Structure 1
Amino acid sequence: MDGTELVAAVRRGDVKVVTALLEAGAAPNTVMDDGLPVLCLAAAAYDAGVAEALVEGGADPDQKLPDGTTPLVRAIDGGSPTVVTAVLGREPRLRLPEAERLQLLALARRWYERGAEEELRGRTGDAGHVCQVRAMDDGRGHVTQLRLGALTVRAGHGAILTDLEWAFRVLTSVDELVARAVAQRDPDHVDWSSARWVLSERRSKETWSALTAHRYHPAPEHRRFVLDVLHFYLLTSSSRRNSYDKESAELLVDWATDGEVDPGVLAEVLFVLSESEHRETEAVGLRHAAHPDPRVRGRVPDLLLGWATPRPLLDAARAALLVLAGDQDWGVRAMAGRALIAAHDGSSEFTDVIVGLLRDPVAGVRARTAEAVADGVDRSAAVADALVALLDEEDFGTRLNAAYGLLRRDDPRTGEAIERVRPLSRPGFEHDHRLSALWNWKWNREHRSAAG
């Protein structure tokens, strides 16, 4: 095998073919006409999937290249943390000598501290215009991509530095990691996501204390970052020895009652608290049910439900939900409606409010309420009639939930509803359980008729 097919597959970004060729005996370090291995081609194209397949198939990320660099060095220069992770390979701390690890860390830190644009200008000697675009880095978050002349880089070196430190087991101070995360003031940036991941993996008491101390930082970005890491703690605690579930819940309750001044941050505090278990969650929700900011009020319904749902609501929680269901903000109404549906007590009062939300003047409220009602327990004629009315909605998802809700209620208008939802084959809905249920209902009816 001369490698021509592998080069072509790498150039196309065809992971399946690349993997198949490597399994069939293609040389993973195949060199192209420019003297570089195909791993460099994948890294330059920011194709992390192909790069990972090559490394898993035996490509050498530490191979010395004609210019003295390596594919791993080139990946770091390229600035994509996802590509660097793919090229880095397994057990890099054991594979790479300490001197080389330190050189790689220094390279990433140079790019980060100097700034991608300045480093790019220094390398090219070009004082011209730098073209900048926002790019997604394979699901890790977004990053700025810069092009100057013939050279393109991504400014993800903060994330790369963080990832390399963790891979080499360099325990960077919590304060420095937080500073990297919040520098972009954007939770969707790769620098933020990498710092969040590393700190969610570091479960020592020292890390916990240093991180949570930023709860009192005057900049809201620091406080938001603490909440983001705490949320990761909660999401990944089941298999962790040091889960900090109890500590996180206690901290969140204190935070929510201590007077957080930023409504946006307070709303996030309530959201993360709703994902935890604490005896005071309902009391915290009631405390903020009349908050002037709708972002805060919108987080209250989930707190009033708590983790013990389904269960009877206490009178105060029940009254608060009914008030929130009539809130002036449509997002708050929608959240309250979903909570009422989940905690339905069989009363006509709840049913009347839910029907009102299914007929709300705002399409978003109707859509979210229909989604919750479809699987809800209310089987009243009023709710079924309201679902039928939604079959005329412009939004396909709303119509689909209305038809699915009628089917689950064994409503005699189900067949008509399915006809009004059609076509049942839609891109993006190939594995949707609701459409599958409609298909099965229709197929069963037609075959019973044919058999009869």
Structure 2
Amino acid sequence: MTGLDVRLAAAVRVGDAAEVRALIEAGADPDAAGADGLPVLCAAVEAFAHEVAEALVEGGADPHRRLPDGTTPLLRAVGSGSPATVSAVNHGVLRLPREQRERLLATARHWYEAGTEAELRRRTGARGPARTGRVQDGEHLHVETVTLGGRTVRAGHGAVLTELEQELRILTPVEELVARAVRHTDDHVDWSASCWALACRRSPETWSQVVAFHRHPSPAHRAFVVGFLGYGVMQAGLSTHPRWYERERGRLLASWARTETDGGVLAGLLALMSREEVPGAPAIVLRQAGHPDPRVRREVPALFDPPWTGGAAAALRVLAGDPEPAVRAAAAHALGRPEVWSGEDRELLVSLFGDPDPQVRSTASYAVASGRDRSPAATEALFGLLAADEQVLRLNGAFGLALRDDPRTPEAYGRVGPRGREHEHDHRWDGLWRWSMRNEPDTP
């Protein structure tokens, strides 16, 4: 091994993907062997270091290289149960010989059907309890881990199987994909893989088969349909019948929201309705403003379009005093949307500046700061925020004064305090500069 190869192996061990790319560009062998004599790609797979594995494969490492035990790095990734790792090394699988493709599928299916812990126990011969946990796999999703006999495997074989089938052009039955998903929540790799695979199919027939589950007695099945409908842009974009999808989705949401009994599912439906043109939506939503489940009430404010009249205005004001902080915050956000407020709405929002919950305080103060209300009462309420203990409230106050070209803006920003890294790209900090350009254009 060259010195570059030794450094590459070290970078793989510590999970430094940027260093791996740099070393390969400098001439390191992407198929260099590690301390165990195996290609360093195997070490990345074993560590679930998908970014490192991706860098190695993109740099020329062979994921289909036959290893002494008859496996390949890709086959090991499939067994690892990490969809992110499989995706990182899954290059050219469609061009593999049939025997190798079938082995990949069989391995994923065996792990999935046997169960991760049971299969790991069979392979290691270990006795005693397994150690389990939950980790992030990729950027946004999660999966369980099982450690037994000195070996750790992730329980994402359902997602691995689904993604392999999709890449190999295998049309898995809708019922099977739904069954893989509903054992988990919507942030699980298996759930997401099934939803994505079905959303990518370009037929009204598939769409109809999936949405038929909205009548299923299990809330988990109905929740999956909500998630599937959330991929509406994908469905319409890939379909040759985009208007059909939009029309049918709107009809389904309108009828379903009237009858759904599970709070979590109904909250998901209302969240979808806030992004859709749904027939009869105002009346549907108004009926949910007093729903016993706070998850439902939290979604209601976003569905009221200003200017509010009658029941919508009254419901919003009631929701602003809801026992649940998340509901109050949603109501405060909605109350900040109109271009012109009534004095009652302003007073309500200002009263929320002193709410017990920090998210409600922040949302209400930003709603007033960024809103169109230029009344002296709103301006003085914003100035009063400069005495708050929380920096975010002081920042909202200063930002609101800047938008109103208040001469106290420089003083206000001086009282906000130092700009932390968490606010590095926060537009509110630009308020003083913009105020200066408008009011002191000749200032150097």
With normalisation by structure 2, the TM-score equals 0.91
The correspondence of residues 94-109 of structure 1 with structure 2, limited to 5 A, is 95-109=95-109
Residues 391 and 417, structure 2, Cα contact 8 Å, conserved in 1: no
Q: What is the SS of the residue equivalent to 1:207? A: helix
Superposition map of 1:364-443 within 5 A: 364-424=359-419, 426-438=420-432
Gaps of 5+ in 2: none
Deviation at 1:53, TM superposition (A): 1.1
Q: CA deviation at 1:108?
A: 0.5
Question: Contact 1:217 / 1:223 at 8 angstroms: preserved in 2?
Answer: yes
Question: Relative to structure 2, which stretch is displaced further, 318-327 or 335-344?
Answer: 318-327
Could you tell me how far 1:440 is from its partner in structure 2? 6.3
SS of 1:342 mapped into structure 2: coil
2:159 corresponding residue in structure 1? 159
Q: Return 113-122 or 379-388, whichever deviates more.
A: 379-388
Matches within 5 A, 1:43-442: 43-89=45-91, 91-93=92-94, 95-184=95-184, 186-234=185-233, 237=236, 241-243=240-242, 244-257=245-258, 259-305=259-305, 312-424=307-419, 426-438=420-432
Name the stretch that deviates more: 330-339 or 109-118.
330-339
1:390-424: CA deviations, max 9, x gaps?
A: 33444433332222222212223322321222112
- Relative to structure 1, the CA distance from residue 227 to residue 445 in structure 2 (aligned partners, 3 Å threshold; closer, same or farther) is same
Q: Distance in 2 between matches of 1:204 and 1:238?
A: 12
Instruction: Using the TM superposition, give the Cα deviation of residue 236 of structure 1 relative to its aligned residue in structure 2, in angstroms.
Output: 6.9
CA contact (8 A) 2:335 2:367 kept: no
Kindly report structure 1 stretches of 4+ aligned residues shifted beyond 6 Å: 442-447
Shift of 1:235: 6.7
Counterpart selection for 1:20 from 19, 22, 32 = 22
CA deviation after TM superposition for structure 1 residue 131, in Å: 1.6
Indicate conservation of the 8 Å contact 1:28/1:57, yes or no. Answer: yes
Structure 2 counterpart of 1:30: 32
Which amino acid counterpart does residue 44 of structure 1 have in structure 2?
Answer: E
Which range is displaced more, 103-112 or 396-405? 396-405
SS for the counterpart of 1:133 is strand
Q: Retained in 2: the 8 A contact 1:274–1:281?
A: no
**Superimposed CA distance per residue, residues 72-93 of structure 1 (whole angstroms, 9 cap, x where no aligned partner):** 011112111100110112x421
Please give the secondary structure, in 1, of the residue aligned with 2:64: coil
Q: What is the SS of the residue equivalent to 1:377?
A: coil
Instruction: Identify if the C-alpha distance between structure 1 residues 46 and 417 changes in structure 2 by more than 3 Å, giving closer, same or farther.
Output: same
Say which is worse superposed, 387-396 or 41-50, in terms of deviation: 387-396
What's the offset of the Cα at 1:165? Answer: 0.9
- The residue type equivalent to 1:103 in the other structure is R
Q: Deviations over 1:136-158 (max 9, x none)?
A: 11224111222223211111111
What are the superposed Cα offsets for residues 217-251 of structure 1, whole Å, 9 maximum, x if unpaired?
11111111110111122477457644422221211
Cα distance between partner residues in 2 of 1:49 and 1:365: 38
Does the CA contact (< 8 Å) of 2:319 and 2:328 recur in 1?
A: yes
TM-score, normalising length: structure 1: 0.90
Contact 2:386 2:397 (C-alpha < 8 Å) held by counterparts? yes
Aligned to 2:304, the other structure's residue is in SS state: helix
Q: Which residue in 2 is equivalent to 1:308?
A: none
> Could you say what the CA RMSD is over the residues aligned between the two structures, in angstroms?
2.4
Cα distance between partner residues in 2 of 1:107 and 1:222: 27
Q: Secondary structure at the match of 1:428?
A: helix
Aligned residues: 440
Contact 1:354–1:383 at 8 Å: present in 2 too? Answer: no
Find the aligned partners of 1:391 and 1:98 in 2 and give their Cα distance: 69
Q: How far is 1:338 from its partner?
A: 1.8
Cα distance, 1:19–1:120 mapped onto 2, change above 3 Å: same
Deviates more, 1:135-144 or 1:110-119: 135-144
Instruction: Encode CA deviations 1:25-50: one digit per residue, 9 max, x unaligned.
Output: 32221122322111111111111111
- Evaluate the alpha carbon distance shift between residue 293 and residue 45 of structure 1 in structure 2; reply closer, same or farther with a 3 A threshold: closer
